[in-house]
Amino acid sequence: MTNHLSSETSPYLLQHSGNPVDWYPWGEQALDLARTQNKPILLSIGYSACHWCHVMAHESFENTEVAAVMNEHFINIKVDREERPDIDQIYQTAHYIMNHRSGGWPLTMFLTPEQKPYFGGTYFPLQPRYGLPGFLELLPRVAEAYYTRSKDIEKQGRVLLTLMNQTLPDNQRSSTEQFSAALLTQAIQHLEEQFDPVYGGFGQAPKFLHPAELTFCLHQYFKAQNTKALQMTVFTLEKMATGGIYDQLGGGFYRYSTDGYWCIPHFEKMLYDNGPLLHLYTTAWLATNNPLFKQIVSDTAQWVIREMQSDRSDEGGYYSTLDADSEHEEGKYYVWDRDEIAQVLTAEEFAVIAPYYGLSQAPNFEQKLWNLVITTDLVEIAQRLDITLDQALRTLLSGRTKLQAIRARRVRPGRDEKILVSWNGLMIKGMAHAGRIFGQVAWIQSAQRAADFIRTMLWKNNRLLATYKDGKAHLNAYLDDYVFLLDGLLELMQTEFRIDDLEFSTALAEVLLEQFEDRQNGGFYFTSHDHEQLIHRPKPVYDNAMASGNGMVAIVLQRLGLLLSEPRYLQAAERTIRLFYPMMSTQLNGYCSLLTAMDETLFPPVMIILRGHSDEMVIWQYTIQRQFPQMFVLTFSSELINLPPSLSKAVSTEAAVDSVRAWVCTVAGCMPEITNLQDLLQICKVQGRISNLL
């Protein structure tokens, strides 16, 4: 049996196309049926790599008895939260208001035909357990409530919408006061209070990666020499890199740690985590020169190209996720039996591998298996075995290679091969930044391939589409798609300037102003002005797994405004910060990206323009970005004469030059050209001091 999902491209929806449940995708057909038949809607939101989504599917949605009850009482709608984050945001907010706790996936919401929720939760077991009602007995009761308590439900719906609208910022309180740099210091102090000094990270189990907070900390170190911010970041990144949250054999980070010490993860691998972490570990290496961070970047970038990027000649985008499960068991692909390892390694290899990856300790996964965690320093192992560190390293690498080969023969987790613009923007930025700093041309080319693919296949009629799979691009793009892609393009332009990237960036910025900005009150909506009308239209500002759309739009418009000397972009960014400033001033938690935007309003980035022959210019670029990673550096070949007007006013466009020339540009304008690297470094140092004194 197939239902109405069989023609969809989302792997998550297709997973349910053979269910006995009469699923519909979100759309007018299903919504109209609910209205004409006066039936409540059962809305189920999840994604393809979600472990508990799989559990609920196997228990309930594949069960003919459950399906019969669902089909009798409800219009059943399936939504992929990665394709429709607009719908997911609305009903996650509704869940929080109704249940006074955060939601998650699967999200199970019961709606009126007018799309207003009246009951909901996340995972429901088939039979009562975990303190939750059984799904089969719950369904008829929820359906009956729709008919017998219609007045109460209608009243609840009005109250709920009022409360949801109150989550929007009050434009009447939009700030006219001067922004205070003291908030930046207070934010670091607030993070210190949440910081785990034993295991790193923020908060308790389950422990998430918090890339926005860590990025803000590094930003404050480079801009204001806040050493505590650096210490928190470096300690956390080291603990994550040596823990089970990181795939010690294959590279890449899992979604979160189920415990407080990064040991046992939820084994999904998400593109949106690994893109920012690539950028973060690269920047942390600039601050510390820690070889561990360089290795993490290298292994993760190789994993991205090997497993997460399409190798088809007509594609090039990055795939979305790797599943947590294989063969219906979470983590089965990644965890090990110690005896299996002992059988495939030599005695010498096992003597190094066992203590290094924690196999000498008690099993850490379900009391019988091991998720690999670095528990002993290799120097200590070499001393115990009376071998040199070089011998220990060679033995470790030979053992790792054997384990990688064994694991490669296992049944792999499923891969969601839809290409999402927003998540691709995050990975484009991470790969471009890592490729530039570590001189890896393949990583840069990987980022360029993804950017070119999006421009070719998902930019139609001067608008972005959100997702692509199996030759089909569709769905109106969201705020995150525009801002994360624009952020990635700005990073790419610093790596290798291409006029197409600048023109694409400008086009994206114009759509942001035209279709997403609230010109009257400030800030940007998550959906465009011509988007499908839903029951609520949020302006996202809190950083979650990804930085907030409004924080990032303020950052990218300021940087592009500086690059192009475009006051409209700068003004839109400032309006956004002013709208949220009263909220940010009274509650610092969750505003790190917006705080970074405010920081760059107070202390605008310095832009360095280099022009000359490639070999020498690469040395200049590398030297500047090692010492001043907060500065925006653009390079142009000596032959390039068609610079953007905003740059050509400041930069000499004479015929080819024999040496490198540099221009230092601030909001006040560009200084005269510089032809000596040491002079340039000295000016950069002075400009950095000036910013800190402002």
How far is Cα 54 from Cα 324, in angstroms, rounded to an integer?
A: 10
pLDDT of residue 685: 86
The mean pLDDT of 652-661, rounded to a whole number, is 66
Structure-token pair, residue 215: 């990025």
How far is Cα 27 from Cα 78, in angstroms, rounded to an integer?
A: 10
Assess whether 576 and 670 both reside in one domain. Answer: no
Please report whether residue 175 resides in a domain.
Answer: no
Helix or strand (DSSP H, E) at 153 = helix 150-165
Write the DSSP assignment of 648-672 as a string of letters. HTTS---S--SS-EEEEEETTEEPP
The mean pLDDT of 584-601, rounded to a whole number, is 93
Assess whether 93 and 42 both reside in one domain. Answer: yes
| Cross-strand partners of 474 | 467
Residue whose entry in the numeric block shows the structure tokens 């495939």: 344
Residue whose entry in the numeric block shows the structure tokens 């823990």: 243
pLDDT surpasses 80 at 654: no
Model confidence at 639, pLDDT cuts 50, 70, 90, reads low
The mean pLDDT of 276-294, rounded to a whole number, is 97
The residue among 570, 602, 634 that closes a domain is 602
Return the number of other C-beta atoms located less than 10 Å from residue 526's C-beta.
21
Return the number of other C-beta atoms located less than 10 Å from residue 573's C-beta.
24
pLDDT surpasses 50 at 537: yes
pLDDT in tens, 40-84: 999 999 999 999 999 999 999 999 999 999 999 999 999 999 999
pLDDT surpasses 70 at 474: yes
pLDDT: which is higher, 167 or 237: 237
pLDDT in tens, 192-207: 999 999 999 999 999 9
The mean pLDDT of 460-473, rounded to a whole number, is 96
Please report whether residue 281 resides in a domain.
Answer: yes
Model confidence at 387, pLDDT cuts 50, 70, 90, reads very high
Assess whether 349 and 464 both reside in one domain. Answer: no
CATH no. for residue 25? Answer: 3.40.30.10
The mean pLDDT of 464-475, rounded to a whole number, is 96
Residue type, position 155, single letter: K
pLDDT of residue 694: 41
Model confidence at 512, pLDDT cuts 50, 70, 90, reads very high
Residue whose entry in the numeric block shows the structure tokens 């001393």: 383
Return the number of other C-beta atoms located less than 10 Å from residue 612's C-beta.
21
Q: E strands along 306-375, which residues?
A: 321-322, 325-326, 329-330
pLDDT of residue 1: 65
CATH no. for residue 235? Answer: 1.50.10.10
Q: CA geometry: angle at 89 spanning 2 and 577, to 5°?
A: 150
Please report whether residue 529 resides in a domain.
Answer: yes
Model confidence at 172, pLDDT cuts 50, 70, 90, reads low
The residue among 389, 409, 429 that closes a domain is 409
pLDDT surpasses 80 at 143: yes
How far is Cα 487 from Cα 552, in angstroms, rounded to an integer?
A: 8
Structure-token pair, residue 242: 């040596």
CATH no. for residue 652? Answer: 3.40.30
pLDDT: which is higher, 617 or 124: 124
Assess whether 163 and 187 both reside in one domain. Answer: no
Report, in this order, helix, strand and coil percent for the chain, each rounded to 5. Answer: 50, 15, 35
CA atoms within 13 A on the CB side of 512: 31
The one-character DSSP state at 106 is S
The mean pLDDT of 513-540, rounded to a whole number, is 96
Model confidence at 652, pLDDT cuts 50, 70, 90, reads low
The mean pLDDT of 305-320, rounded to a whole number, is 92
Write the DSSP assignment of 268-299 as a string of letters. -EEHHHHHHHHHHHHHHHHHH--HHHHHHHHH
In Å, how far are 264, 304, 421, 514 from 334, measured between CA atoms?
11, 17, 28, 47
Assess whether 32 and 66 both reside in one domain. Answer: yes
Question: Which residue range forms the structural domain that includes residue 135?
Answer: 11-167
Strands 269-270 and 321-322: antiparallel
pLDDT surpasses 60 at 656: no
Give 582-629 as a 3 state SS string.
HHHHHCCCCCHHHHHHHHHHHCCCCEEEEEECHHHHHHHHHHHHHHCC
The torsion angle over the Cα atoms of residues 581, 582, 585 and 589, rounded to 10 degrees, is -80
The one-character DSSP state at 57 is I
Domain count, the chain: 4
pLDDT in tens, 177-194: 789 999 999 999 999 999
pLDDT of residue 64: 97
- b/e code 198-216 from CB counts within 10 Å (16+ = b): ebbbbeeeebbbbbbbbbb
Assess whether 338 and 320 both reside in one domain. Answer: no
For residue 55, what are the contacts with CB-CB under 8 A and spacing of at least 6? 123
Are the C-beta atoms of residues 294 and 438 closer than 8 Å to each other? yes
Please report whether residue 172 resides in a domain.
Answer: no
Please report whether residue 355 resides in a domain.
Answer: yes
Q: Is 94 helix (H, G, I), strand (E, B) or coil?
A: helix
How far is Cα 630 from Cα 624, in angstroms, rounded to an integer?
A: 10
In Å, how far are 230, 391, 434, 623 from 286, measured between CA atoms?
12, 29, 11, 11
pLDDT of residue 649: 60
Assess whether 224 and 320 both reside in one domain. Answer: yes
How far is Cα 277 from Cα 444, in angstroms, rounded to an integer?
A: 16
What phi and psi values does residue 80 have, to the nearest 5 degrees? -85, 115
Please report whether residue 545 resides in a domain.
Answer: yes
What phi and psi values does residue 132 have, to the nearest 5 degrees? -110, 145
How far is Cα 267 from Cα 320, in angstroms, rounded to an integer?
A: 14
pLDDT surpasses 90 at 618: no
Assess whether 464 and 541 both reside in one domain. Answer: yes
How far is Cα 8 from Cα 215, in angstroms, rounded to an integer?
A: 37
pLDDT of residue 173: 63
In Å, how far are 4, 21, 33, 83, 116 from 39, measured between CA atoms?
18, 16, 8, 25, 13
Residue type, position 571, single letter: Q
Share above pLDDT 90 across residues of the chain, in percent, rounded to a whole number: 85
For residue 180, what are the contacts with CB-CB under 8 A and spacing of at least 6? 585
Assess whether 463 and 523 both reside in one domain. Answer: yes
CATH no. for residue 404? Answer: 1.10.10
Are the C-beta atoms of residues 488 and 429 closer than 8 Å to each other? yes
The mean pLDDT of 216-235, rounded to a whole number, is 95
Please report whether residue 41 resides in a domain.
Answer: yes
Assess whether 314 and 381 both reside in one domain. Answer: no
Write the DSSP assignment of 508-562 as a string of letters. HHHHIIIIIB-TTT-SB-SS-TTSPP-S------S-SSS--HHHHHHHHHHHHHH
The residue among 560, 584, 602 that closes a domain is 602
Please report whether residue 39 resides in a domain.
Answer: yes
pLDDT surpasses 80 at 300: yes
pLDDT in tens, 548-567: 999 999 999 999 999 998 99
Model confidence at 169, pLDDT cuts 50, 70, 90, reads confident
Model confidence at 689, pLDDT cuts 50, 70, 90, reads low
How far is Cα 187 from Cα 199, in angstroms, rounded to an integer?
A: 21
Q: CA geometry: angle at 51 spanning 68 and 71, to 5°?
A: 10
Assess whether 33 and 147 both reside in one domain. Answer: yes
- b/e code 137-161 from CB counts within 10 Å (16+ = b): ebbeebbebbeeeeeebeebbeebb
Average pLDDT for the chain:
93
Strands 419-420 and 463-469: antiparallel
Model confidence at 693, pLDDT cuts 50, 70, 90, reads very low
The mean pLDDT of 104-133, rounded to a whole number, is 95
Assess whether 314 and 387 both reside in one domain. Answer: no
